[in-house]
């Protein structure tokens, strides 16, 4: 069965994000992910408010990273949310956005070891256990929460490169494949299978998501205008192997990244072309979006996340999803 998730970026006032979350739950979304970047509103404050106004939808940070936030703090955050909404909390974890981290001079060192150790820390601490750990990246001596955690919290790992995809399938409860194009999802599934085989997992036991940049509107031009800034960030943060696959020059991606880091938004967005939009988003009318989602499902994912920006008008775009997309995927 296909599950459907939605991502919100908490750049709007808290009550708007909460309103959209209520709307998402009402129409039948299974998961709600809220991004974690220092230049937007705090993810855990946003999720806590959302939890008070929803009853069913599963939710969590999508994704947080261990470079800006130590995994014991992440464990504390999701465990506290789990007290408020038992059994509904999940944790999305990844290496973070290269461009945003560059703004605060943080390097994504040893990403595989960092994620592996972070997942272990989050699971142990969020399960209420006492943790002693001397890892390559993290040293933890006797860390333990002072409150009980009633439910285990699933950890989803955001991934794009081959080794991280395999690791995500090996140690994660779910894989958030940061891609929108079937070519990328098809390649990713090969590494997801390899990772799952290391621990004798069956693919059907994993939640495997296409975590897309998504923009739906009544016309392609309206959807395109809204998705360009998001695509710029994706291009800026994409590994060279992904850029090569879509014949996007590393030099151009670097130009976009430098412009974003220096706040030159017009310059950054001017470099985004239709090929980039096609490679890194699902963008267009409902007919186009249905066709593209169908293709991703056939490649092997069992969750579709409609990610930022959703569309030019959030409320209207969610309504289009409810009336024109959901009948095709929600039986």
What is the percent of the chain where pLDDT is above 70? Answer: 100
pLDDT tens figures, 236-271: 988 898 999 999 999 999 999 999 989 999 999 999
Q: How far apart are CA 180 and CA 306, in angstroms?
A: 10
pLDDT at position 1 is: 76
pLDDT tens figures, 73-131: 999 999 999 999 999 999 999 999 888 898 899 999 999 999 999 999 999 999 999 99
pLDDT at 207 over 80: yes
pLDDT at position 172 is: 98
Q: Could you tell me the CATH superfamily of domain 3-216+281-329?
A: Luciferase-like domain (3.20.20.30)
Q: Mind giving me the DSSP string for 200-257?
A: T--GGGSEEEEEEEEEE-SSHHHHHHHHHHHHHHHHHH--HHHHHHTT--HHHHHHHH
pLDDT at position 91 is: 98
Report residue 230's pLDDT band, with 50, 70 and 90 as the boundaries: very high
pLDDT at 140 over 70: yes
Query: Rounded to two decimals, what is the model's pTM?
Result: 0.94
Q: What is the mean pLDDT of residues 132-136?
A: 96
Q: What is the mean pLDDT of residues 39-54?
A: 97
Nearest-5° angle of CA 138, CA 126, CA 191? Answer: 65
pLDDT at 331 over 70: no
pLDDT at 164 over 90: yes
Nearest-5° angle of CA 143, CA 149, CA 154? Answer: 95
Domain boundaries, the chain: 3-216+281-329
């Amino acid at each position: 069965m296909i599950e459907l998730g939605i991502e919100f970026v908490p750049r709007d006032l808290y009550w708007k994000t909460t309103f959209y979350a209520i709307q998402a739950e009402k129409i039948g979304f299974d998961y709600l992910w809220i991004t974690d970047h220092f230049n937007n509103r705090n993810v855990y404050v946003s999720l806590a408010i959302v939890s008070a106004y929803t009853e069913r939808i599963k939710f969590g940070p999508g994704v947080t990273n261990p470079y800006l936030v130590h995994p014991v703090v992440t464990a504390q955050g999701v465990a506290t949310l789990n007290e408020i909404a038992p059994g509904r909390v999940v944790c999305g974890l990844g290496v973070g956005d290269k461009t945003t981290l560059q703004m605060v001079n943080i390097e994504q060192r040893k990403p595989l070891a960092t994620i592996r150790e972070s997942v272990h820390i989050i699971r142990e601490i969020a399960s209420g256990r006492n943790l002693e750990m001397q890892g390559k990246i993290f040293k933890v001596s006797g860390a333990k929460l002072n409150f009980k955690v009633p439910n285990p919290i699933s950890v989803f790992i955001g991934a794009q490169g081959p080794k991280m995809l395999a690791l995500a399938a090996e140690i994660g409860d779910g894989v958030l494949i940061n891609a929108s194009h079937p070519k990328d999802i098809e390649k990713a599934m090969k590494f997801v299978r390899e990772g799952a085989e290391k621990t004798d997992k069956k693919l059907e036991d994993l939640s495997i998501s296409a975590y897309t940049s998504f923009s739906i509107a009544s016309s392609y031009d309206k959807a395109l205008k809204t998705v360009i800034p998001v695509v710029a960030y994706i291009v800026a943060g994409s590994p060279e192997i992904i850029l090569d696959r879509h014949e996007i020059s590393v030099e151009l991606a670097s130009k976009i990244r430098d412009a974003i880091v220096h706040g030159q938004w017009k310059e950054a967005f001017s470099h985004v072309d239709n090929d980039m939009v096609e490679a890194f988003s699902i963008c267009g009318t409902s007919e186009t979006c249905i066709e593209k989602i169908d293709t991703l499902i056939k490649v092997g994912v069992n969750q579709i996340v409609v990610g930022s920006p959703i569309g030019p008008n959030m409320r209207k775009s969610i309504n289009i999803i409810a009336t024109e997309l959901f009948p095709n995927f929600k039986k």
